[in-house]
Amino acid sequence: MEWSVNNAFKSYKDMEPKSTMDMVLIPNMDTIDIVLGSSEKGNVVPSAKPRKKTMTSVYLKYFETAPDGKTRRCKFCGQSYSIATATGNLGRHLSNRHPGYDKTGENVSSSAPQLSTTPTVIKKPQPQGRAPQVDYDHLNWLLIKWLILATLPPSTLEEKWLANSFKFLNPSIQLWPGEKYKAVFREVFRSMREDVRASLEQVSSKVSIALDFWSSYEQIFYMSITCQWIDENWSFQKVLLDICQVPYPCTGSEIYNSLVKVLKMYNIENKVLSCTHDNSQNAIHACHALKEDLDGQKMGPFCFIPCAARTLSLIIDDALRTTKPVIAKVREFVQELNASLDISEDFIQLATAYKEGSWQFPLDASARWSGSYQMLDIVQKAGKSMDAVVRKNEEMLGNRMLLNTAEKNVVNIVHNYLEPFYKVISEICVNTPPTIGMVIVYMDHISDTITARQPPDWLKNPAEDMAKKLRSYNNQVCNIFIYMTAILDPRIKCELIPESLNSENYLEEARAHFVRNYYTTPFSSMTSGYSSQDIEDGGAVSFAEEIARKKRRASMSNATDELTQYLSESPAPTKTDVLEWWKVNSTRYPRLSAMARDFLAVQATSVKPDELFCSKGDEIDKQRFCMPHDSTQAILCIKSWTQGGLKLKYKSTEIDYERLMEMAAAAAADISLAGMDKKQK
């Protein structure tokens, strides 16, 4: 059977919401060319010529009248209706509960219904015209949406009890086989990838990419590649390019080959300015090979930097090394609190009595930074309450969770030692995405903190390891590209640049790069904007201001004057929206703003900080680990693209999920109406 997606959607959009009585059941499809719509004319049973209604309804033969003459009972399921129930409502009952009822013949009984197991086309007699048709495969498309949002493989729908549940509601429902779902996902993935490719062709600035790696339960090594840029309206744009399997043995060479293949597929290898990696040696080797390749082809400047978030995570692991046994005890206690309403209420009451703060349940018991820091918090801020709860519920909890004085002292020291980390990570997680310039400032602050503190003897070795990792990070980001990215952040400029990165040579190199690559930038491509004073004045510009602007423009005899003037002004307040600042000031610095669009898109982290440090990452890791190879790329990419605003498409047709839900709501309303009729008897 041939199916037309475009024709189906055309009739689909023209269709007004109808009751389930108006729906027809479409035969199950044998091909992969799946659509949302009705069958072709040749596959529909022609309707009889409209005729006048008579007092005898075609539906009455499927009901038997009770001896008292007050009710009618369905011969299929035995449901009773008042004798006064309109025959149209009886038809709705048959359409909703027993699709295919007109093919069962005359011999039906309420005790043993013999419904057709093969979906067939049914037709409701209409006074005039033809009833619109609705494909029951709409359910399968809704299930596809569910699989995407829940990040579940198609094999989920092969569970027989799930299929039986649908059969219980409607015996004629046919779920697609698993292979058909997989084929649909592959086609949707291809269609949406074309949209991503088309959108990247319109990007006029440089782009930044980030790499993340993980392994599944099948021991398959995956690499996700994300792309970020700043559009002409000065908004961050981010899209997942691909999730690809890295062939064994997963060395830098294999990573490099997989990465280049994706960049060429999207035709952006000449637009990539930077790559942020996960700090692994294999990723570093791959990025080094990519730089050599791009430099050899004279594609333009390219740099690669380590992920700041992963560096922080590794440093924190060093600090928590000595307290892991204590944290494990506290985490076990928190898990008991979360599992028992009585115990959690005891804790809340005792914390209030001891004035040890208010705590909202469930508490974060994640093994990530957010959970580990809360374990330290509980010991330091609610130690008395914790002890009291353990003693009160000793029969259930035992006394293994009680901490001695030495353990509490260790926790307090580590808690105070990591407080700067807590503040920095909180800032990074809130400011999404954080600019590389501000992250460099944060990392420099942590480096100074570790150097200035004198830890106790048992913390000295972890502190040395922490300092070593920070030095490694600082060495990798100490280059001209990061310098240019930092000074183009109007909150930082040269004033807040870390001493290790502040160099006169870097400033001259930045000036030369600006003149060489942005001096000829056409003004017409730049976004117009106003100064902060214009915004305060509601956009009105005085005549004197126009004269002043003309004087400023005339004073810029060459491109370097833009950089000089920009750096001569005081940095913006730290709470300033960087992209909004450049949008406002792009007319003052038309060429420099083009450079800012390129460099401010450099990603400071290879993953979203909240996914690494917070319990949100646990769910993501679980989904990745459990996803089978034949579904990983399609499901995860489609989910990311739809969350980013792209519409789910099958071939060239957008799937109208809003319309599907409207029709589902209409069907629910009809079922509700049938229920009301039942109550009237």
HEC string of 560-622 equals HHHHHHHHHCCCCCCCCCHHHHHHHHCCCCHHHHHHHHHHCCCCCCCCCHHHHHCCHHHHHHH
What was the pLDDT predicted at 25? 30
CA distance 467 to 356: 34
pLDDT tens digit string along 401-410?
A: 999 999 999 9
What was the pLDDT predicted at 675? 59
Amino acid residing at 175: L
Q: Which of 63, 65, 91 shows the shortest CA–CA distance to 75? A: 63
What was the pLDDT predicted at 667? 67
Mean pLDDT lowest among 10-19, 491-500, 532-541: 10-19
In percent, the amount of the chain with pLDDT more than 90 equals 58
Beta bridge partners of 295: none
Q: In this model, does residue 15 exceed pLDDT 90? A: no
What was the pLDDT predicted at 609? 94
Enumerate the H helices of 138-244 as residue ranges.
138-150, 160-169, 178-201
Q: Where residue 58 falls among pLDDT bands split at 50, 70, 90?
A: confident
What was the pLDDT predicted at 541? 56
Q: Where residue 114 falls among pLDDT bands split at 50, 70, 90?
A: very low
DSSP 8-state class, residue 214: E
Q: In this model, does residue 449 exceed pLDDT 80? A: yes
Question: Is the Cβ–Cβ distance between 62 and 101 less than 8 Å?
Answer: yes
Average pLDDT over the chain, rounded to an integer = 82
Q: Where residue 60 falls among pLDDT bands split at 50, 70, 90?
A: confident
Average pLDDT over residues 337-353: 95
Q: In this model, does residue 641 exceed pLDDT 50? A: yes
* First-residue to last-residue Cα distance in the chain: 45
Beta bridge partners of 221: 215
Structure tokens of 91? 């038809």
Residue 1: how many other CB atoms lie within 10 Å? 13
Q: Where residue 79 falls among pLDDT bands split at 50, 70, 90?
A: confident
pLDDT tens digit string along 293-336?
A: 999 988 888 999 999 999 999 999 999 998 999 999 999 999 99
281-296 vs 252-265: helix crossing angle, rounded to 10: 50
Q: Where residue 652 falls among pLDDT bands split at 50, 70, 90?
A: confident
DSSP 8-state class, residue 15: P
Count Cβ atoms within 10 A of the Cβ of residue 348 and give its class: 0-12 exposed, 13-18 middle, 19 or more buried: middle
Burial 311-320 (b: 16+ CB within 10 A, else e): bbbbbbbbbb
Q: Is 116 helix (H, G, I), strand (E, B) or coil?
A: coil
Q: In this model, does residue 495 exceed pLDDT 70? A: yes
130 or 602, higher pLDDT: 602
242 or 163, higher pLDDT: 242
Angle at 257 between CA 276 and CA 248, to 5 degrees: 100
Average pLDDT over residues 534-552: 54
What was the pLDDT predicted at 325? 93
Count Cβ atoms within 10 A of the Cβ of residue 568 and give its class: 0-12 exposed, 13-18 middle, 19 or more buried: exposed
pLDDT tens digit string along 124-157?
A: 444 444 433 445 678 899 999 999 999 999 999 9
What was the pLDDT predicted at 225? 98
Average pLDDT over residues 545-554: 58
Average pLDDT over residues 380-384: 94
| pTM of structure | 0.75
Q: In this model, does residue 105 exceed pLDDT 70? A: no
Give me the residue spans of the domains in the chain: 136-184+654-675, 191-307+631-646, 313-447, 479-518+567-605
Q: Is 207 helix (H, G, I), strand (E, B) or coil?
A: strand
What was the pLDDT predicted at 550? 59
Q: Where residue 97 falls among pLDDT bands split at 50, 70, 90?
A: confident
Q: Where residue 522 falls among pLDDT bands split at 50, 70, 90?
A: low
CA distance 80 to 507: 87
Phi, psi for residue 270 in degrees, rounded to 5: -90, 0
What was the pLDDT predicted at 180? 92
Q: How many residues does the chain have?
A: 681
What was the pLDDT predicted at 38? 37
Question: Is the Cβ–Cβ distance between 421 and 316 less than 8 Å?
Answer: yes
Q: In this model, does residue 677 exceed pLDDT 50? A: yes
What was the pLDDT predicted at 118? 32
DSSP string of 283-348, one letter each residue: HHHHHHHHHHHHHHTT----EEEE-HHHHHHHHHHHHHGGGHHHHHHHHHHHHHHHH-HHHHHHHH
CATH of domain 191-307+631-646: 3.30.420
Q: Where residue 22 falls among pLDDT bands split at 50, 70, 90?
A: very low
56 or 194, higher pLDDT: 194
Sheet holding 236-245, edge to edge: 236-245, 221-230, 207-215, 272-277, 303-306
Mean pLDDT lowest among 41-45, 88-92, 282-286: 41-45
Q: In this model, does residue 244 exceed pLDDT 70? A: yes
User: What is the chain's alpha carbon radius of gyration, rounded to the nearest angstrom?
Assistant: 33
What Cα–Cα distance (Å) separates residue 107 from each residue in 96, 103, 220? 20, 11, 57
Q: Where residue 565 falls among pLDDT bands split at 50, 70, 90?
A: very high
